[in-house]
Amino acid sequence: MAGDDEEGGEGDDDAVADEWAAMADDDGTSARVLNQDEIDSLLGFQEGGDGGGDRSGIEAIIDSGMVSYERLPMLEVVYDRLVRMMSTSLRNFTSDNVEVSLDNITSIRFGDYLNSIPLPAMLSVFKAEEWDNYGLITVDSSLIYSIVDVLLGGRRGTAAMRIEGRPYTTIERGLVERMVNVVLADLSAAFDPLSSVTFRFDRLETNPRFATIARPANAAILARLRIDMEDRGGRLELMLPYATLEPVRELLLQMFMGEKFGRDSIWENHLATELWFTDVEVEAVLDEIYLPLNDVMNWKVGTQIQLQAKPDSEIMLRCGAVPLFTASMGRKSGFVAVRVNERLME
C-alpha cells in the first residue's frame, strides 16, 4: 500500500508540473529571449558612446567607485599650462607651425585604457622621480609618422606615408623618444609652481602588455592632446595613475585663481617690508643660576643671591628664549650700555 501511495504522489507532482508548464506557455513568458539592444540597455552599454554621456545599468554601478578628476580642480590649470608650453617647445623642436589642443580629461581604469589603445602605437613609460611612481605617454601612429616626416624634411601639403604591418625602425623610435623628452620637460615645468618634480624618460614600448605600470583595476587620469602641424598631426595621450598623484593630492584639491597658484605677491612684499619696522624686546642677561624649587620656596625678604658675573664678563642678549648675541657691559653718556661682540643666530 505504501508503494501505491508513493506512486500516486509522484503522479500528482507530475500533473501539477505539467499544468504549470502549460500555463507558462499560454502566457508566453517562459520563452522570453532578450535581444542585443535590451542586453546593452540592461548593462548600460551604448554604441557610439565614448563615456561622455550619462551611464546606467551595471556599468554605472561599476563606475560609481571611480574617482572623478573634477575633484582635482588645480589639475586642469596644470594641463592648460602644459598645452601652452608644448605649443612653443614643439614649434622649436620641429621648426614648423604646431598647434596643440586639449581634447578632454577623463577618469579611467588602467586595464580598460590598455585594452582601448589603438595599435600600432608607441607607449613611453616615464618616472616621476620625487613622487617615486610612473606615468604613461601614448603616441598614435599618425603622430609618429608625422613627426618623422617633419623632422626628416618631408614636403608640406602631402600626408605622411603610413606603412602597415611593419615594426617601427630605430630612427623612428629615436625621433619619437626625442619628442617625448620635450613633452616631459614641459610637463615638469607645468607642475613646477605646484610641486617641484622631474619626469624622466624610462623606456619605449610598442606592446601595451609591457607598459603595465599599475594594476588593471587602479584608477587613472587620462588627458588626450591633439597635435596639428598644418595638414599633418595626430594624438598624444598622457595617463597618470592616481597613485602617482597621491603625494600632491592635497595641493590639487585646493581652489585658486591666476598663474600664481594662490600666492599674492603684493601681500608678501608688504609683509616682508613691515617686518623690518617691527619692535622686539631684547633682554641683556648678566648671569643665570639654577636652584632647587625647595630653596626658592624658602626665600624671604632680604635673601641674597650670589651671581658669578664680573664687570668684564660676557653677557647674553636674547629675544625671548632665542639667544642672539654675546656682548660686554659698560657705560656710555651716563647710561649702562652693552657692546655686541659675536652674533650667535645666523
User: In this structure, what DSSP letter does residue 276 have?
Assistant: T
Cβ neighbours of 163 (radius 10 Å): 7
DSSP string, 54-96: ---HHHHHHHTTSPPGGG-HHHHHHHHHHHHHHHHHHHHHHTS
Q: How far lies 233's CA from each of 36, 103, 229, in Å?
A: 38, 14, 5
pTM for this model (two decimals): 0.56
14 contact partners, CB below 8 Å, separation of at least 6? none
3-state secondary structure of 282: coil
CATH level 3 topology of 69-253: Chemotaxis protein chec (3.40.1550)
pLDDT of residue 178: 92
Environment class of residue 113 by beta-carbon count within 10 Å: exposed (0-12), middle (13-18) or buried (19+)? buried
Boundaries of every domain in the chain: 69-253, 279-294+312-346
pLDDT of residue 51: 46
Give the closest residue to 176 by CA, choosing from 153, 197, 149.
149
Which position has the grid cell 584608477? 219
Residue type, 117: I
Residue 78, all three cell numbers: 596644470
Query: E strands within the chain?
Result: 99-109, 121-128, 133-140, 199-205, 219-229, 232-241, 283-285, 314-319, 322-332, 335-343
Cβ neighbours of 158 (radius 10 Å): 10
As a whole number of angstroms, the distance between CA 123 and CA 117 comes to 10
Q: Which long-range contacts (CB under 8 A, 24 or more apart) does 97-102 make?
A: 97/229, 97/230, 98/227, 98/228, 98/229, 99/227, 99/228, 99/229, 100/225, 100/226, 100/227, 100/228, 101/225, 101/226, 101/228, 102/223, 102/224, 102/225, 102/226
CB 205 within 8 A of CB 122: yes
pLDDT of residue 219: 87
Longest pairwise C-alpha distance within the chain: 136
pLDDT of residue 63: 54
pLDDT of residue 48: 45
pLDDT of residue 20: 59
Environment class of residue 238 by beta-carbon count within 10 Å: exposed (0-12), middle (13-18) or buried (19+)? buried
As a whole number of angstroms, the distance between CA 209 and CA 213 comes to 10
CA triplet 268, 274, 278: central angle to 5 degrees?
A: 135
Residue 236 φ/ψ, nearest 5 degrees: -130, 130
Mind listing the pLDDT tens digit of every residue in the chain (346 residues)?
544 554 555 566 666 666 656 655 555 445 567 777 767 666 555 544 444 445 555 555 555 545 554 577 788 888 889 999 999 998 888 888 888 888 888 888 888 888 888 878 889 999 988 888 899 999 988 888 888 888 887 766 555 555 565 778 888 889 999 999 999 999 999 888 888 889 999 888 888 888 888 888 888 888 999 988 877 888 899 999 988 888 888 887 776 544 445 556 788 888 888 888 888 888 888 888 888 898 888 888 988 888 877 777 888 888 888 888 888 888 888 888 888 888 887 6
As a whole number of angstroms, the distance between CA 224 and CA 301 comes to 83
